[in-house]
């Protein structure tokens, strides 16, 4: 239960997430999935964070962890260029989904759903940019609270969010569905028109994959 998370849990969890992300194979395509099934795997409590047009030729579904250092690097360094080059030009639709790895990641992911829906993307962007300041400290819950305060949370709303068992259950169900149904076992994992790619792809790697698909 999220309400029982303690500091030892989140410290060990953040450390494990860092170690797991470092061992993830980079840019390995391992499976071809039915994209309609991937897109349909949405929990009503956890609506997808969607960028771009539904009419785009290419759809990318990312499964990522807020405490994964490779996910942070992808979102801080690669995603802005991907967004400008492919998403905002109508060629790619990009969908973000949380894939929780540890108690601290679970808490941060829950908070992203407790705030205003229109600000969820900005809050996740902030968490990735500030990841070292809240995810890898001696007092991560205190640091996460300070980050959440900048998104409008109070101590009371912070605590109330982390006690929501519906969100906790939904995040675990989403993780299990991704792991069992789509073979997601590391973060970030990108599913590009049904093709699974593991690891934080660089922009040149994404260009190589996307250009044939979008006809560029």
Q: Where are the domains of the chain?
A: 2-208
pLDDT value, residue 32:
82
185: nearest Cα among 205, 199, 172: 199
Q: Residue 183, by phi and psi: left (phi above 0), alpha (psi -120 to 50) or beta? A: left
pLDDT value, residue 7:
47
Q: How far apart are CA 58 and CA 44, in angstroms?
A: 24
For β-strands 58-64 and 92-98, DSSP reports them as parallel
pLDDT value, residue 187:
97
What phi, psi does 163 have (nearest 5°)? -100, 5
For 35, residues 6+ apart whose C-beta sits below 8 A from its C-beta are: 59, 191, 193, 194
pLDDT value, residue 122:
96
pLDDT value, residue 5:
52
Q: Collect the ranges in the chain with pLDDT lower than 50.
A: 1-4, 7-8, 10-12, 14-30
DSSP of 147-200: HHHTTT--HHHHHHHHT-HHHHHHHHHHHHHHHHHH---SSSEEEETTEEEES-
Q: Which CATH superfamily is domain 2-208 in?
A: Glutaredoxin (3.40.30.10)
pLDDT value, residue 31:
64
pLDDT value, residue 167:
97
pTM: 0.86
């Amino acid at each position: 239960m999220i309400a029982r998370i303690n500091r030892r849990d989140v410290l060990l969890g953040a450390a494990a997430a860092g170690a797991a992300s470092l061992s993830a194979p980079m840019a390995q395509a391992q499976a071809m999935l039915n994209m309609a099934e991937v897109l349909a795997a949405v929990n009503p409590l956890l609506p997808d964070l969607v960028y771009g047009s539904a009419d785009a030729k290419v759809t990318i579904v990312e499964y990522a962890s807020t405490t994964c250092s490779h996910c942070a690097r992808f979102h801080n360094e690669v995603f802005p260029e991907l967004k400008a080059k492919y998403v905002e030009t109508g060629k790619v639709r990009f969908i973000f989904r949380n894939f929780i790895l540890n108690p601290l990641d679970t808490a941060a992911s829950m908070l992203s759903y407790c705030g205003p829906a229109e600000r969820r993307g900005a809050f996740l962007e902030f968490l990735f940019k500030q990841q070292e300041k809240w995810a890898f400290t001696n007092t991560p819950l205190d640091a996460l609270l300070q980050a959440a305060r900048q998104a409008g949370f109070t101590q009371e709303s912070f605590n109330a969010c982390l006690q929501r068992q519906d969100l906790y259950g939904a995040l675990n169900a989403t993780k299990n569905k991704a792991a069992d149904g789509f073979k997601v076992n590391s973060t970030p994992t990108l599913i590009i028109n049904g093709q699974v790619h593991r690891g934080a792809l660089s922009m040149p790697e994404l260009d190589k994959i996307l250009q044939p698909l979008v006809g560029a």
